[in-house]
Structure 1
Amino acid sequence: MTGAATLPIIDISAEDADQAQIAKELVDAAIDYGFVYIKSRDISAEQIDGAFNVSRTLFDSPLEDKQRCKIEKNNQGWTGMHTETLDPKTQRVGDFKEGFNFGPFTNGKAIQPIPQNIEPHQAELAAFRDACHQLCRKLLLLFGIGLGANPPEFFSAAHDPDLPSGSILRFLYYPPPSRTPEAHPDDVRAGAHSDYGSITLLFRLRGQAGLEILEPRTGRWAPVPVDPPSTSKDDEDAAAPPPILVNIGDLLSYWTNGLLRSTVHRVAFPSEPEALAAGESTADPRYSVVYFCHPAGDTLLTPVPSQRVQAAGQNESETARIQGLGNNKKILTADEHLQMRLQATYLQMYGKGGGKE
């Protein structure tokens, strides 16, 4: 494979690990790339496999059952082909994918409409969603430590799981190119975008290519292998799920005046064979499981109290500028920022002028 993104791999659950060193490595990766692979024992292989199995069941549901659960303005529910337009400035049509967004569960039960065939899996989904949020809070604490935030819990405390937030567990399904013959050469499966929240956890399946990041240093699109090339290929690693890919979202970038990168990424259609990792293909259906972690909805997006962030200067991130979050603008809440991004994404729901305010 040529031209693949080279991202750090950090084991955050290693025995006798130095938390301060892990925190430093995470911050350095977030500054340089905005993406990092992590190895973690916080979410089991069984939980990850279970989530993908439920995802397959969900997307195999009858169309009318999925349509009954269509997405609402609370960002929960099913999205069909072309419902989302993640890059409305350049996309000819919406994304070539289906998605399903899960909001909070109460006592192991969904509080939103869900397809009938996944109702037996509600407790499993609730536990997986909770595990994702707790892993995010662990990472956010490490980011606070690495940045010298005062207090170190600045980020993690803002993500109290008992408070209402925009956090979403999302299942995604991308049909194989053979089922999207109407796609043009310049179309993409998911448009170029940065993520709307604080941090994102991405779970992928081996063999399924497609994710690309816009490299901050080179400005080129680079594929991100499911398994980083430097991962050892012993029996234990082969049996374990691929490492989790973590990326910085808009809010963590904004909170740090752009010190941490909210890197633009997309999911592309078939690439040249030499651009793919060994054993990976874009010819088959692609599934991914994503957890978008958001702070409590009423959290004010004020800069983190950190000398390192202050020393980095007052240059807000490119994402912040695009979204109108510069220092001379009104300080928004997390929910206000999320609504701005959703209005730009769901043109059918909000109208084509919905995201321009």
Structure 2
Amino acid sequence: MTAETSSIPIVDFAGWDTKATPEQRRNTAKQLTEACRNVGFVYIINHNVGSEKLAQAFDWSKKLYDLPMEQKMLAPHPSGFTVHRGYSPPGLEKVSNAMGDEDDAELTKKLRQISDVKESYEIGSERNSDQPNQWLPENVLPGFRSFMTDFYWECHQTAEKILSAMALGIGLSDENHFRPTHPGHNNQLRLLHYPPVPAADIEKQLSTRMGAHSDWGSITMLFQDDCGGLQIENPHKSGEFIDVPPLKDAIVMNVGDLMMRWSNDSLKSTVHRVTLPPTQDRFTGDERMTRARYSIPYFVSPEGQSVVECLPSCVDEKHPVKYKPIVWDDYRLMRASVQYENPAKETAVSA
């Protein structure tokens, strides 16, 4: 399967360029919003993040993960689940679609019976004091911090344009509606590496790459390498998954839980997962091994105390309000509480 023949729509974002006509912009917004309504995932091409910059980002990610473990652990993910920054070794994080709370240690333990075979590095805005960055010492990977800081804000600029198109597409009078709540300081740039793993372990469910889940925030922008393995739940058949093949330099954009709530379910936050690459296993002796996979998601979220409630343009007599207002930080912590183990919870359980 190729991206061109997949079930995921492709939107050419050149129609949202500053030189585009009002009609082109309306058409682009319509295409984007229809994809978000029907599938929840969309390829965006001709966006503002350049091919050369993307190649550099993947090169930096590979340099990071080629470092010895003791060097990567010089910027460790803080213990617990409240701060999501720095390096997470394989097995530290367990992604799921579970809804937990701070007291649900048994759920966290149960989910971790099958571990995720991946490592990640999380980067945010330097102005977010609630989520302080955990940088490697400059001498360990010179230039990494500077590049990733610039790349973070370049991704944010593209995210602003996507949010503006979505605002127009769902009928808001102001295409800049989301800008005040999304200044960029609560976003998250994530570098992901899935090391080679025996294919049989995935097939027998002894381990996973990344389990089925929805994203928490407003939208997610994903850049993939050429390995493959990303799948989304078929919007027309629950429990069936379909491939999202790599499309060079495209953004794979998906709706997050918050945007689904804002839009009163008119936009779809689709469950997705990472599993075996389609046909790219290799052999070590007689054992089939997956290829290493690299991906770079950029999670776009509002400021922590932002209240998320149904937008007036998404409510009418046939579509009454489905959700009570929530505060983003409260929702984030509820989801994170079962993703990373909390030392305080573990101590209480063992006692």
- TM-score, normalised with respect to structure 2: 0.81
Residue 155 of structure 2, aligned match among 132, 140, 143: 132
Amino acid at match of 2:253: V
- Distance change (3 Å), C-alpha of 1:171 and 1:16: same
Q: How far did residue 111 of structure 1 move?
A: 6.0
How far apart in 2 are the matches of 1:169 and 1:349?
25
Q: Secondary structure at the match of 1:134?
A: helix
Structure 2 unmatched ranges of 5 or more: 99-109, 281-287
Q: How far did residue 184 of structure 1 move?
A: 6.2
Hey, what does 2:215 align to over in structure 1? 195
Does the alignment pair 1:84 with 2:84? no
Hey, what does 2:235 align to over in structure 1? 216
Please tell me whether the aligned partners of residues 47 and 158 of structure 2 are also in contact (alpha carbons under 8 angstroms): no
How far apart in 1 are the matches of 2:125 and 2:151?
11
Hey, what does 1:339 align to over in structure 2? 333
How far apart in 1 are the matches of 2:279 and 2:292?
18
Residue 262 of structure 2, aligned match among 238, 255, 277: 255
Hey, what does 1:322 align to over in structure 2? none
Q: Secondary structure at the match of 1:218?
A: coil
How far apart in 1 are the matches of 2:272 and 2:344?
24
How far apart in 1 are the matches of 2:35 and 2:153?
25
How far apart in 1 are the matches of 2:201 and 2:342?
20
- Distance change (3 Å), C-alpha of 1:86 and 1:111: closer
Q: Secondary structure at the match of 1:251?
A: helix
Hey, what does 2:104 align to over in structure 1? none
Hey, what does 1:26 align to over in structure 2? 32
Q: Secondary structure at the match of 1:136?
A: helix
Amino acid at match of 1:9: I
Hey, what does 1:49 align to over in structure 2? 55
- Distance change (3 Å), C-alpha of 1:147 and 1:69: same
Q: How far did residue 244 of structure 1 move?
A: 1.1
Q: How far did residue 128 of structure 1 move?
A: 0.9
How far apart in 2 are the matches of 1:312 and 1:61?
56
1:272-351 to 2 correspondences below 5 Å: 283-306=290-313, 308-310=314-316, 313-314=319-320, 316=322, 326-327=323-324, 331-347=325-341, 351=345
Q: How far did residue 216 of structure 1 move?
A: 1.6
Amino acid at match of 2:327: T
Aligned length: 313
Does the alignment pair 1:225 with 2:231? no
Amino acid at match of 2:339: T
Residue 113 of structure 1, aligned match among 115, 121, 134: 134
How far apart in 2 are the matches of 1:34 and 1:353?
40
Deviation readout 1:9-50 (Å, 9 max, x if unpaired)? 111124646101111111110000000000134111111111
Please tell me whether the aligned partners of residues 167 and 175 of structure 2 are also in contact (alpha carbons under 8 angstroms): yes
Hey, what does 2:75 align to over in structure 1? 69
- TM-score, normalised with respect to structure 1: 0.79
- Once superposed, what is the RMSD of the aligned Cα atoms? 2.8
Does the alignment pair 1:96 with 2:117? yes
Hey, what does 1:276 align to over in structure 2? none
- Distance change (3 Å), C-alpha of 1:143 and 1:290: same
Structure 1 unmatched ranges of 5 or more: 228-240, 274-280, 317-325
Please tell me whether the aligned partners of residues 78 and 99 of structure 1 are also in contact (alpha carbons under 8 angstroms): yes
Please tell me whether the aligned partners of residues 34 and 247 of structure 1 are also in contact (alpha carbons under 8 angstroms): yes
Q: Secondary structure at the match of 1:254?
A: helix
Amino acid at match of 2:270: T
Deviation readout 1:271-314 (Å, 9 max, x if unpaired)? 578xxxxxxx98210000110011111110111231x4446613
Q: How far did residue 349 of structure 1 move?
A: 5.2
Q: Secondary structure at the match of 1:217?
A: coil
Deviation readout 1:312-346 (Å, 9 max, x if unpaired)? 61364xxxxxxxxx43xxx3211111111111211
Q: How far did residue 136 of structure 1 move?
A: 0.8
Deviation readout 1:126-164 (Å, 9 max, x if unpaired)? 111101111111111111101111433222331023xx4
- Distance change (3 Å), C-alpha of 1:52 and 1:313: same
How far apart in 2 are the matches of 1:353 and 1:192?
29
- Distance change (3 Å), C-alpha of 1:272 and 1:62: closer
How far apart in 1 are the matches of 2:318 and 2:118?
39
How far apart in 2 are the matches of 1:43 and 1:282?
33
Q: How far did residue 205 of structure 1 move?
A: 1.3
Amino acid at match of 2:93: E
Q: Secondary structure at the match of 1:155?
A: coil
